[in-house]
Amino acid sequence: MINYSFYFYTYIFLIAATILLFMGIEIALALSFFINKDLYKKYENLFLSMWEITGTSITFFLVQYEALLPSLLVPVAYSFYPLIFIILFLFIFRNIGIGFFEGKSINKEYSKRDILIYLFGTLIMVTLFVSILSTAITGYGIKIVNGNIVLEPSIIFNYFTLLLLLSTILFVLGILGYVFNVKKFKIYGLIGYLLVLLDIYLYENTIPYLFFFPLIILLILTFVNLKDIVQRILFIISNYLNATILAALLFPYIFGTININSLLPQNLPLLSAEFTISIIITIVVIGIYYFEIKTILS
Judged by the rule CB under 8 A, the positions of this chain that interact with another protein are 45, 49, 51-53, 55-56, 58-60, 62-63, 66-67, 69-71, 73-74, 76-78, 81-82, 84-85, 88-89, 91-92, 95-96, 98-100, 102-104, 106-107, 109, 265-267, 269-270, 272-274, 277-278, 280-281, 284-285, 288-289, 291-292, 295-296, 298
Identify whether the C-beta of residue 247 lies closer than 8 Å to the C-beta of residue 64. no
Query: Whole-number minimum distance, CB 159 to another protein, in Å?
Result: 28
The least distance separating another protein from the CB of residue 225, rounded to whole angstroms, comes to 30
Q: By the 8 A CB rule, do 217 and 189 touch?
A: no
On whether the CB atoms of residues 25 and 175 are closer than 8 A, the answer is: yes
Q: Which residues contact 180 (CB under 8 A, 6 or more apart)?
A: 28, 29, 32, 39, 43
Given the complex with another protein, which of 216 and 297 has the nearer CB atom?
A: 297
Q: 70 vs 183, which CB is nearer to another protein?
A: 70
Angle between helix 4-35 and 228-250 (nearest 10) = 140
- Closer residue to another protein in complex, CB, 224/273: 273
- Shortest Cβ distance from residue 201 to another protein (Å)? 35
Query: Rounded to the nearest whole angstrom, what is the least distance from the CB of residue 145 to another protein in the complex?
Result: 14
Q: Which is nearer to another protein, 89 or 212 (CB)?
A: 89
- The Cα–Cα gap between 98 and 113 comes to 11
208/242 Cα distance (integer angstroms)? 12
